[in-house]
Structure 1
Amino acid sequence: MSIFKARVKEFEDLLSKEEIDLRRLRELCFNGIPECNGFRPLCWKLLLGYLGPKKDSWSSTLERKRELYRQFIEEMVVPPGLQSSEECHDHPLSEGPESAWSTFFKDNEFLLQIDKDVRRLCPDISFFQQPTEFPCDIVVNSRGERRLHQRVVPSILSSANVERKGLGVTKINSMRKRNSESYEAMDEGQEAHWEVVQRILFIYAKLNPGQGYVQGMNEIVGPIYYIMASNSVVEERKYAEADCFFCFTALMAEIRDFFIKTLDDSEGGIKFMMEKLAKMLHEKDPDVWLRLKQQELYPQYYSFRWLTLILSQEFPLPDVVRMWDSIFSDENRFSFLIDVCCAMIVLLRDQILENDFSTNVKLLQNFPPMDINIVLSKAVSLRQKQ
């Protein structure tokens, strides 16, 4: 039996049990999830806590959550006056705090930023520009009134980029992989995958008003949606949007502090994470740490984006997906993220020790192409030496 077939059988045996051994699941997933039989979408749902370990609860959980998400679309995406549940007596020009129309127009303030970001998602692949097999019937069969991209009014955005001040030259909006063209929307009756992601982010922002939408969230939801919408089990692909939403929400519950500036110094905040990375680098490769310190090349110049976006901007999407298998399956999930970031720096040690400041900034802000297995192996070896 080949190594691949043996791994597939291990996953089949584990996932066939009435109660999933999550410890064993993490062990298997840490070394990569096979791309067959719908394993990865199911494993990510388990690892992120969307599904519980008892299999007999899956059907009711999925049915309940998917129906709830459909209600979110009805209540938050459909404009006032078009909801099927109740008649709207509100006037579009009303500015009262209880006015549904007032809320509708305020929503456009962050919707424009979402629209701008998702139209450029993962430009190295064509997936997000392609039509989904299962467009949302509530939205596409409505002559356009319910399609978010048609609600955007460019003139309302006073500041197009969401920036984080005081963290060096690297901001969330300092994205590396960008093309100049934006994706086009589909004709009536169809919708592209990026339009689905737009709706997920819009609903998330509506449900989390204290946080809202922050630029960069699109880079986190993108890989999750890609996995759910590429499920080899066709029946599950029908619910990719709802499943992605709840997996994304679960992940954001763990990393939301990264996106809230007032929590930067908290234990889960981004400054704390960058300090952990610097400390680990000092322990694992003091020469590289000293070189960067002498050049005053601090972690915020490069690792802010690495950590905040879980390295989704530094590698091609297939590599990001493989890396997330390991990160999601690690019990100290973001401790392993630190290990991976440290490994990336150590693997460039020869260049870093030789380069001047400006060259090192470019090197670390534009991580060179590298076999992801080498990076992960190095991260594991660094952890084992602790």
Structure 2
Amino acid sequence: MKTVEEARRRWETLLGYGRNTHDLKQAVISGDSENPCENGLRSVCWKIFLLCDDLDRSKWIDRLTDTRSAYDSLKDHFLKYIKHPNDLQSTVDPLAEDEESPWQALRHDEATRAEIFQDVERCLQDNCFFREPSTKSMMLDILFVYSKLNPDLGYRQGMHELLAPILWVVERDAVTQSSKHIPVDTTDDESVMLQLLDANYIESDSFNLFCSVMQVARSFYEHTDNRPVNGEAEMAPIVARSEFIHNELLMVADHELAIHLNTIEILPQIFLTRWIRLLFGREFSFDDTLLIWDLLFANGLRATLIDHICVAMLLRIRWQLLEVDYSSALTLLLRYPALNDHGPQTLVHDGLYLSRI
């Protein structure tokens, strides 16, 4: 967390880039000056880009207040019996196999939470923040509430790795000064800052940012449960997207490379599934991933941009790929080489360029 003094300094730096959403976006996208997400308050930028994008600055707090209240209500509803199992009706037999029994629902919820917690336990354990019990508890509750809110999708492995950077960013910027106890000499700007960064809402703000990201990423995790038609199983959306990136986008951008990957029998979904589902989080360092996400969010997170970034990443290592066989190519694609001469942001800029031609 940050002290109020440090938050104030970074807030003033952030406002120096512009006092509205458009100016902040342009400052991040242009790359002509220092990144306001790094030098200002990254969590504020993300909240503005993902939650308040269409709103005038005067309405930011109203939007956040609504989303925070909504999460509190959802959590109370979905975790009621998880937190207070004694509140279940004593007249219902806990051992009954009735699918309509609230005890059956509770057992199903507990199984879901156990599955989520397995992934949370393994998440970014080299970072001490993610080893904290309080962090694990927040991640577990956020992912569980999301799964209950989206029963047709549920929880899928990998979602925890999308949530982790969001929670980390929100917690790093949070201040313990409650918005309910703002000093009398606080300016309107500082009042907005304190409410945006209120540590009481780390979990709810992280949930709402995660939900915003999942509006786009949801299709990356969808599975098809339909029975085969005419002997052929329906293709999973992520496989279809991977094939589109290879067979359509890459084939146009670099025909030679696309043909070579076909020749050595590299299936695009083998590496693109991870690239896409985790928004490149496994391919780059944690800090570089945050820089990439800054640009993704500032550009309005959209699947087409993610597709073209994948193509840009392939083009960046085309010469290495053209010279190697299946095994070496797969190693390159699953252990993406470090970007020694260029920052990770350049891949997003390349993706933007490719999306326009």
TM-score, normalisation: structure 1: 0.71
Which residue matches 1:133? none
Deviations 1:79-120 (A, max 9, x none): 368389x77445433444443322110112222221110101
Instruction: Provide, for residues 12-36 of structure 1, a one-character-per-residue CA deviation record: whole Å limited to 9, x for no partner.
Output: 04664xxx3x443322233444334
Give the Cα–Cα distance (whole angstroms) in 2 for the partners of residues 105 and 382 of structure 1.
Answer: 45
In structure 2, what residue type is equivalent to 1:260? Answer: E
Alignment match, 2:24 = 25
Shift in Å, 1:48:
1.5
Pairing of 1:63-142 with structure 2 (within 5 A): 63-79=65-81, 82=84, 88-89=89-90, 91=92, 92-130=94-132
Q: How far apart are residue 58 of structure 1 and its match?
A: 2.8
Note if 1:274 corresponds to 2:236.
Answer: no
**Superposition RMSD on alpha carbons, in Å?**
3.2
Q: Structure 1, unaligned stretches of length 5 or more?
A: 1-6, 131-190
Shift of 1:332: 6.4
Match of 1:250 in 2: 212
Q: CA deviation at 1:348?
A: 1.7
Q: Is the 8 A contact 2:14 2:39 kept in 1?
A: no
Question: Is the CA contact 1:114–1:202 (under 8 Å) kept in the aligned structure 2?
Answer: yes
The answer on whether the counterparts of 2:291 and 2:345 sit within 8 Å (CA) in structure 1 is no
Say which is worse superposed, 117-126 or 74-83, in terms of deviation. 74-83
In the alignment, what sits opposite 1:312? 281
Which digits, 9 at most, give the CA deviation of each residue in 1:130-153, with x for residues without a partner?
3xxxxxxxxxxxxxxxxxxxxxxx
- Count of matched residue pairs: 314
State how far apart, in whole Å, the 2-side matches of 1:303 and 1:198 are. 27
Name the CA distance, whole Å, in 2 between partners of 1:343 and 1:81: 47
Given that 2:162 and 2:278 are in contact with CA atoms closer than 8 Å, whether structure 1 keeps it comes out as: yes
Deviation at 1:349, TM superposition (A): 2.0
* 1:323 aligned residue: 292
Distance 1:80 1:384, change over 3 A: closer
> Is it true that 1:286 corresponds to 2:288 in the alignment?
no
User: What residue is the counterpart of 1:34 in the other structure?
Assistant: 37
Q: How does 1:122-271 map to 2 (within 5 A)?
A: 122-130=124-132, 191-231=133-173, 233-235=175-177, 236-262=198-224, 269-271=237-239
Q: In the TM superposition, what are the counterparts of 1:295-374 in structure 2 within 5 Å?
A: 295-331=264-300, 333-371=302-340, 373-374=342-343
Asked if structure 2 preserves the Cα contact closer than 8 Å seen for 1:122 and 1:128, the reply is yes
CA contact (8 A) 1:343 1:375 kept: no
Distance, in Å, in 2 between the alignment partners of 1:36 and 1:238 is: 24
Q: Distance in 1 between matches of 2:212 and 2:11?
A: 27
User: What amino acid sits opposite 1:274 in the alignment?
Assistant: S
Name stretches of at least 5 consecutive residues in structure 2 with no aligned partner. Answer: 1-9, 178-197, 227-232
How many angstroms apart in 2 are the aligned matches of 1:380 and 1:69? 35
Give identity over the alignment, percent: 26
CA distance in 2, matches of 1:83, 1:15: 50
Distance 2:347 2:151 in 1: 40
Kept in 1, the 8 Å contact 2:292–2:344? The answer is: no
Match in the other structure for 1:162? none
3-state SS of the aligned residue for 1:124? coil
Measure how far apart 1:287 and its partner are: 2.7
1:344–1:375 Cα contact (<8 Å) kept: no
| Shift in Å, 1:347 | 2.0
